[in-house]
């Protein structure tokens, strides 16, 4: 990481959301790396950037197409890489031609000079890396945004060598593991499709029951069905959709409608309010287990104290299964990992015994496999080994500011708090530092609306209103406001929109239209 | 630059090492102990305390092992009589203006200065020096500063500036009164500090300590359990420090592959929720709109009956489960298995893909 020549940080605020990742990036900067930041907010990194692309939320694709176009027009692309390693270049070239500087400046709000300078810095570097975050994925075009970034990296051939590539940063601690291990409607553990008869057969043999080949419902769809009265029972393990999902009024109606709701959590949350039965959860200090981090590194979680309520989740789920007629007993989570290893190829060589000595990065298929530190990006995962350029068009956000709701709300995180805040709000020192929600508003807008830091303001959208104190700061640009979703006393997600990325189901947390008033 | 390994000999032990290794690093690798105070592998070599001096054959004066790179066929001796004499004097000088406070000091047992004083059998009596008499500073929620115990190794200042790039603290004042502090000696607040506690984690003495853990137990009272952070997805490791069934502190694991001992404010100081009185400690069943405490047996019995009857009445597609990116791999796997084997459907999803 430290010998990166140009670092392109896009839609990610690592000093707040990924502080330790930000230390690696800072090291690269100290060693002289150039920095490009694409972010509508003037973040810590943006303040120090060589080029700050202060783009409007929802204009990511236009931004990337514009950069690629500048690179191609100037002949700054990596011709050899394009010829040898990619397909579909001509179509890409024709597409990005539609994104000339004038048009991109209009769509993104970024000056022509900055676009050219960013394109120059990225393409001229010997080793350049792109790091992107939820500012890319939490849009209705999230998947396409990520593809647009891949186009840029491919055009310059900044892939597959040390200190190059694309790194995606996500939010929650075990989002990687929770995808790997199959609590997903279309895939069994290890991304094995429920449509694949061979995969089903493997699990049927191991688990001794027939596995349904019908793709299940996504969480959004289950909630819709609850509201429609067709879905009758729901078990929610350790999540708080009634605070962290977008468009909370809809979520609340769904959770009220479902006939029987079980929630397991360590604290009362907005979601437990709707429960028929609440089961106590065990905190990470009370159980053995593993988490898989963003670089696919499987690491141990170790029990330091006894579960406060006497049982950890793995015991509870097993007992419930047994009571409902599926006999299931484990003496220790290590036995669950052994079962995972027998069914999920990527985890095939992982065991608690090995993890005791060191963490392992999957794919780690066998007991003597050392794990895999760098993986060729999925871009090359096609049969012919060539990466395919995608032609993409600017679509914008699901909701854009209008007369009635003239401001744009971006939601995100602050370093001191985590998600619904149920843990960090109970840490006294943290509450001393960051006790409440603050609406970050630009000095220009504050002046126009006669708002001072500390004033209570109402933030409303088509879906509802939330009240919180204002903080006037130049971190927000004119027209944009920022809020977190960490506080139960100011439920920001009442306001956020129902739009989602149709491919991944990720909500458009980064952009909705609001009005601000005192 | 060639990748060829260099041969060096330390205390008669021959070893191969990389070209840009320092003597200190190589010695550590082969298990030769060299005392040091101002060095932290997270920081650039500094060469301030001189405790790590060693004799290199052919060089008249002792060299500091933390800053001297190895060279081909270098012969190093770490403990000559002369070097031991110099180290003794250095420790005596440090102790000469150090408060005699080991008996109630938070760091006793884990303090580099205390250990050196013991190892070299010296105290501060040879050079009776002028001592600071400054008050303990507890002007922020997490970090206690006892300037009297500072030995000016500069580690806190360097980690804050080099690694965190927060610029919170620097050496302020001149001469005898120079010490690490914030600009204008203002309290640490969010305006000037990230509260990552990196400065505390690197301090070799009792000058910087974790405020919340003071008086809760010294190193030998605490059970250390290595684990992985449950906040963001970076995967930092640290030690939970446990006493009498309570987590009282988090300390750095400098061997952690991802974070090398660095942490953010949540990882280092965000542990109090674990035994917060608001924790749900028994199952709760809603009766007439109110939650009533129940036993595990009652609650699990009710859940099993209710789900079974819903499935019988409305079909097994009428129920489902949400899993969580905050739960362990094993729990996610089990819930995934539960829905497939008990509900016999694929109605399982992790709630937020963020
Ligand atoms: S810092 Fe070390 S030597 Fe000084 S009082 Fe504390 S334990 Fe004793
Ligand atoms: S807590 Fe972190 S930011 Fe604050 S002074 Fe210490 S090292 Fe610097
Ligand atoms: S406070 Fe600690 S780390 Fe900082 S200079 Fe003093 S002794 Fe060294
Ligand atoms: S550790 Fe080498 S001079 Fe301090």
pLDDT tens track for B219-238: 999 999 999 999 988 899 99
Residues of B in contact with A283 (CB under 8 A): 230, 273-274, 279
Taking the CA of residue B176 and the nearest CA in chain A, the distance in Å comes to 31
Same domain, A88 and A141: yes
Please tell me which of the candidates A23, A278, A504 has its beta carbon nearest to residue B163: A23
Same domain, A356 and A418: no
pLDDT tops 90 at residue A428:
no
**The predicted structure's pLDDT at residue A239:** 87
Same domain, A435 and A420: yes
**The predicted structure's pLDDT at residue A5:** 92
User: From ligand 2's centre to the CA of A501, what distance in Å?
Assistant: 39
pLDDT tops 70 at residue A377:
no
> What is residue B104's DSSP assignment?
G
pLDDT tens track for B144-173: 999 999 999 999 999 999 999 999 999 988
Cβ of B83 less than 6 Å from ligand 3: no
**The predicted structure's pLDDT at residue A380:** 59
Q: Above pLDDT 70, what percent of chain B?
A: 98
Q: For residue B169, which ligand has an atom nearest its CA? A: 2
Chain CA centroid to CA B112, Å: 15
Closest residue in A to B307 (Cα–Cα): A233
Please tell me which of the candidates B265, B286, B340 has its beta carbon nearest to residue A207: B340
**The predicted structure's pLDDT at residue B173:** 83
pLDDT tops 60 at residue A376:
no
pLDDT tens track for B55-104: 999 999 999 999 999 999 999 999 999 999 999 999 999 998 899 899 99
CA distance A425 to A419: 10
Q: Above pLDDT 90, what percent of chain A?
A: 48
Cβ of B294 less than 6 Å from ligand 3: no
Check residues A119 and B130 and name the one with the higher pLDDT.
A119
Closest residue in B to A504 (Cα–Cα): B353
Q: For residue B40, which ligand has an atom nearest its CA? A: 4
Strands (E), chain B: 6-10, 13-17, 53-56, 63-64, 74-77, 143-145, 169-172, 179-182, 208-210, 223-228, 237-243, 246-252, 284-287, 290-293, 319-323, 348-350
Going by C-alpha positions, the residue among A234, A183, A258 that lies closest to residue B307 is A234
Residue B176 contacts A, CB cutoff 8 Å: no
For residue A387, tell me if it sits in a domain: no
Mean predicted confidence (pLDDT) in A430-446: 89
- CATH number of the domain at A105, please: 3.40.228.10
Task: Give the domain-ending residue among A139, A169, A199.
Answer: A169
Residues of B in contact with A336 (CB under 8 A): 330, 333-334
Same domain, A159 and A180: no
Please tell me which of the candidates A231, A262, A302 has its beta carbon nearest to residue B227: A302
Same domain, A32 and A160: yes
- Kindly determine whether residue A308 and residue B275, on different chains, have CB atoms separated by under 8 Å: yes
pLDDT tops 90 at residue B174:
no
Chain A contact probe: residue of B158, B310, B325 with most A CBs at under 10 A: B325
Task: Give the domain-ending residue among A292, A327, A361.
Answer: A361
Mean predicted confidence (pLDDT) in A158-167: 83
Same domain, A237 and A294: yes
pLDDT tens track for A71-99: 999 999 999 999 988 889 999 999 999 99
Mean predicted confidence (pLDDT) in A212-232: 89
Domain span at A287: 175-361
Total structural domains within chain A: 3
Cβ of B159 less than 6 Å from ligand 2: yes
Domains of chain B: 6-79 (3.10.20.740), 104-111+126-275 (3.30.70.20), 280-314 (no CATH), 316-354 (no CATH)
Same domain, A182 and A163: no
Is the distance from CB of B199 to CB of B143 less than 8 angstroms? Answer: yes
User: From ligand 1's centre to the CA of B246, what distance in Å?
Assistant: 26
User: Which atom of ligand 4 is nearest to B48's Cα?
Assistant: 3
Residues of B in contact with A238 (CB under 8 A): 323-324, 326-327, 331
pLDDT tops 50 at residue A66:
yes
Same domain, A74 and A165: yes
Cβ of B38 less than 6 Å from ligand 3: no
Residues of B in contact with A289 (CB under 8 A): 328-331
Check residues A202 and A493 and name the one with the higher pLDDT.
A202
Mean predicted confidence (pLDDT) in B281-290: 94
Cβ of B145 less than 6 Å from ligand 2: no
Give the count of Cβ contacts less than 8 A between chain A and B.
437
Mean predicted confidence (pLDDT) in A21-45: 90
For residue A370, tell me if it sits in a domain: no
pLDDT tens track for A390-405: 888 888 788 888 899 9
Tokens 């840009």 sit at which residue? B20
pLDDT tops 70 at residue B3:
no
Check residues A10 and A485 and name the one with the higher pLDDT.
A10
Is the distance from CB of B320 to CB of B347 less than 8 angstroms? Answer: yes
**CA B188, B193, B194, B200 torsion: positive or negative?**
negative
Mean predicted confidence (pLDDT) in A27-55: 91
Predicted TM-score (pTM) of the model is 0.90
The complex's ipTM works out to: 0.89
User: Helix (H, G, I), strand (E, B), or coil: what is residue A419?
Assistant: coil
Same domain, A165 and A179: no
For residue A39, tell me if it sits in a domain: yes
User: Which atom of ligand 1 is nearest to B205's Cα?
Assistant: 1
Report the mean per-residue pLDDT for chain A: 89
Confidence of residue B37 (pLDDT cuts 50, 70, 90): very high
pLDDT tops 60 at residue A375:
no
Mean predicted confidence (pLDDT) in A54-64: 90
Confidence of residue A510 (pLDDT cuts 50, 70, 90): confident
Is the distance from CB of A276 to CB of B286 less than 8 angstroms? Answer: yes
Q: A310 vs A411, B42, B98, CA distance in Å?
A: 37, 40, 48
| Residue whose CA lies nearest to ligand 2 atom number 5 | B168
CA-based R_g, chain B, Å: 27
For residue A180, tell me if it sits in a domain: yes
**The predicted structure's pLDDT at residue B1:** 44
For residue A392, tell me if it sits in a domain: no
Same domain, A150 and A267: no
For residue A366, tell me if it sits in a domain: no
Confidence of residue B132 (pLDDT cuts 50, 70, 90): confident
CA-based R_g, chain A, Å: 24
Residues of A in contact with B144 (CB under 8 A): none
Residues of B in contact with A259 (CB under 8 A): 310
- Kindly determine whether residue B354 and residue A215, on different chains, have CB atoms separated by under 8 Å: no
pLDDT tens track for A136-153: 888 888 888 888 999 999
CA distance B187 to B184: 9
User: Which atom of ligand 2 is nearest to B142's Cα?
Assistant: 1
For residue A218, tell me if it sits in a domain: yes
Cβ of B154 less than 6 Å from ligand 3: yes
HSE at residue A411, side-chain half, CA atoms within 13 A, is 31
Check residues A50 and A375 and name the one with the higher pLDDT.
A50
- Residue A210: both structure tokens together: 């027939």
For residue A507, tell me if it sits in a domain: yes
Cβ of B205 less than 6 Å from ligand 3: yes
**Count of Cβ atoms closer than 10 Å to residue A23 Cβ:** 22
Confidence of residue A381 (pLDDT cuts 50, 70, 90): low
pLDDT tens track for A236-294: 998 888 888 888 888 889 999 999 999 999 999 989 999 999 999 999 999 999 999 88
- CATH number of the domain at A437, please: 2.40.40.20
**The predicted structure's pLDDT at residue A379:** 55
- CATH number of the domain at A317, please: 3.40.50.740
- Kindly determine whether residue B350 and residue A183, on different chains, have CB atoms separated by under 8 Å: yes
Instruction: Indicate the length of chain A as a whole number.
Output: 518
Q: Above pLDDT 90, what percent of chain B?
A: 81
Same domain, A306 and A249: yes
Same domain, A119 and A210: no
């Amino acid at each position: 990481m430290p010998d990166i020549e140009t670092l392109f940080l896009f839609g990610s605020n690592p000093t707040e959301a990924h502080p330790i990742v930000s230390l690696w990036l800072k090291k690269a900067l100290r060693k002289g790396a150039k920095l490009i930041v694409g972010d509508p907010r003037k973040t810590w990194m943006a303040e120090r950037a060589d080029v700050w692309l202060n783009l409007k939320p929802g204009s990511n694709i236009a931004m990337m197409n514009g950069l690629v176009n500048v690179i191609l027009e100037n002949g700054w692309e990596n011709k050899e890489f394009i010829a040898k390693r990619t397909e579909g270049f001509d179509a890409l070239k024709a597409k990005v031609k539609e994104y000339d500087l004038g048009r991109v400046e209009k769509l993104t709000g970024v000056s022509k000079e900055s676009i050219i300078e960013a394109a120059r810095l990225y393409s001229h570097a010997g080793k350049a890396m792109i790091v992107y975050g939820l500012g890319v994925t939490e849009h209705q075009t999230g998947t396409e945004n990520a593809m647009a970034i891949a186009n840029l990296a491919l055009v310059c051939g900044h892939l597959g060598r040390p200190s190059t590539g694309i790194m995606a940063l996500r939010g929650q601690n075990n989002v990687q593991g929770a995808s790997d291990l199959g609590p997903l409607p279309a895939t069994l553990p290890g991304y094995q499709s429920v449509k694949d008869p061979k995969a089903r057969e493997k699990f049927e043999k191991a688990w001794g029951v027939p596995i349904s080949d019908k793709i299940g419902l996504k969480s959004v769809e289950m909630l819709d069905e609850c509201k429609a009265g067709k879905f009758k029972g729901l078990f929610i393990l350790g999540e708080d959709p009634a605070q962290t999902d977008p468009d909370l009024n809809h979520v609340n109606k769904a959770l009220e409608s479902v006939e029987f709701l079980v929630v397991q959590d360590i604290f009362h949350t907005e979601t437990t309010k709707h429960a028929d039965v609440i089961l106590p959860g065990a905190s990470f200090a009370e159980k053995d287990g593993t988490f898989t981090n963003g670089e696919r590194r499987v690491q141990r979680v170790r029990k330091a104290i006894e579960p406060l309520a006497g049982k950890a989740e793995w015991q509870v789920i097993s007992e419930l299964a047994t009571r409902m007629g599926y006999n299931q007993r484990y003496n220790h989570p290590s036995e669950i990992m052994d079962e995972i290893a027998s069914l999920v190829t990527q985890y095939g060589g992982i065991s608690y015994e090995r993890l005791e000595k060191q963490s392992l990065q999957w794919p780690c298929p066998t007991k003597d496999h050392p794990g895999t530190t760098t993986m060729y990006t999925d871009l090359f995962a096609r049969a012919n080994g060539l990466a395919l350029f995608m032609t993409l068009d600017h679509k914008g956000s699901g909701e854009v500011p209008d007369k009635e709701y003239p401001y744009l709300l971006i939601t995100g995180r602050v370093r001191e708090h985590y998600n619904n805040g149920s843990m960090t709000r109970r840490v006294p020192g943290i509450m001393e530092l960051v006790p409440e929600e603050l609406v970050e508003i630009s000095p220009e807008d504050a002046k126009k609306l006669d708002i001072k830091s500390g004033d209570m303001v109402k933030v409303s959208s088509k879906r509802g209103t939330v009240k919180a104190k204002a903080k006037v700061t130049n971190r927000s640009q004119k027209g944009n406001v920022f809020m977190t979703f960490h506080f139960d006393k100011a439920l920001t997600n009442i306001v956020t929109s129902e739009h989602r990325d149709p491919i991944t189901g990720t909500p458009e947390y980064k952009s909705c239209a609001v009005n601000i008033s005192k | 630059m060639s990748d060829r390994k260099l041969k060096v000999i330390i205390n008669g032990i021959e070893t191969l090492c990389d070209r840009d290794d320092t003597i200190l690093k190589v010695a550590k690798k082969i298990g030769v102990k060299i005392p040091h105070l101002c060095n932290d592998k997270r920081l650039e070599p500094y060469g301030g305390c001189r405790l790590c001096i060693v004799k290199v054959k052919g060089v008249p004066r002792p060299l500091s092992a933390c800053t001297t790179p190895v060279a081909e066929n270098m012969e190093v001796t770490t403990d000559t009589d002369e070097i031991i004499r110099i180290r003794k004097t250095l420790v005596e000088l440090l102790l000469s203006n150090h408060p005699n406070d080991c008996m109630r000091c938070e760091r006793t047992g884990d303090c580099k200065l205390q250990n050196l004083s013991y190892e070299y059998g010296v105290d501060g009596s040879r050079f009776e020096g002028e001592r600071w008499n400054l008050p303990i500073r507890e002007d922020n929620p997490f970090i206690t500063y006892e300037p009297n115990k500072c030995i000016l190794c500069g580690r806190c200042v360097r980690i804050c500036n080099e690694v965190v790039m927060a610029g919170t603290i620097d050496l302020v004042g001149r001469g005898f009164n120079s010490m690490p502090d914030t600009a204008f000696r203002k309290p640490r607040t969010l305006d000037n500090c990230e509260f990552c506690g990196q400065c505390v984690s690197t301090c070799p003495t009792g000058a910087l300590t974790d405020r919340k853990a003071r008086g809760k137990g010294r190193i030998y009272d605490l059970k250390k359990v290595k684990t992985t952070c449950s906040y963001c997805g970076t995967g930092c490791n640290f030690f939970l420090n446990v006493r009498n069934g309570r987590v009282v502190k988090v300390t750095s694991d400098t061997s952690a592959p991802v974070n090398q001992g660095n942490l953010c404010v949540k990882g280092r100081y965000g542990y109090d929720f674990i035994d917060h009185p608001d924790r749900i400690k028994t199952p709760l069943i809603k009766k007439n709109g109110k939650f009533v405490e129940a036993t595990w047996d009652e609650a699990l019995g009710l859940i099993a009956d209710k789900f079974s009857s819903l499935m019988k009445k409305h079909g097994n597609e009428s129920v489902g489960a949400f899993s969580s990116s905050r739960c362990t791999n094993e729990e996610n796997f089990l819930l995934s298995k539960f829905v497939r084997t008990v509900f016999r459907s694929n109605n399982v999803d992790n709630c937020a893909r963020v």
